[in-house]
Amino acid sequence: LFRSQVAWTAPTGYSVDHYEITATEALMNTSATVSASASATSATLTPLKAATTYAVVVKACTDAACTRAGSAQAVSATTPGEYWQLQGSGN
């Protein structure tokens, strides 16, 4: 499983309670979400699948329940492929 570092610029014009960062896989519609404090400008999403394209959205929540939020436009990111190497000895 992979992880991805996401970075953003804090919005201007309103107070942020916290951020919610979500990466959604289009094929299976599964997602990984992480929360970050109001002072944060980056977070790490985990676990993510190998060789998979995700739509990543950062929401700036104005309250603890995130009932009001501003969000950036989704960006697309693809995790690297996974390669296995088998080692053995004998027959």
List pLDDT tens digits, range 35-67. 999 999 999 998 899 999 999 999 999 999 999
- Please compute the mean of the pLDDT values over residues 22-43 and round it to a whole number: 93
At residue 88, the pLDDT reads 84
Q: Residue 75: in which H helix or E strand, if any? A: strand 75-78
CA angle centred on 30, ends 60 and 47, rounded to 5° = 80
Per-residue pLDDT for 1 more than 70?
no
Measured torsion, CA atoms of residues 49, 78, 18, 64, in degrees rounded to the nearest 10: -50
- Please compute the mean of the pLDDT values over residues 17-40 and round it to a whole number: 93
For 59-71, write each residue's pLDDT tens digit: 999 999 999 999 8
Q: Residues of the chain with pLDDT > 70: what percent?
A: 99
Chain centroid, CA 28 distance in Å: 16
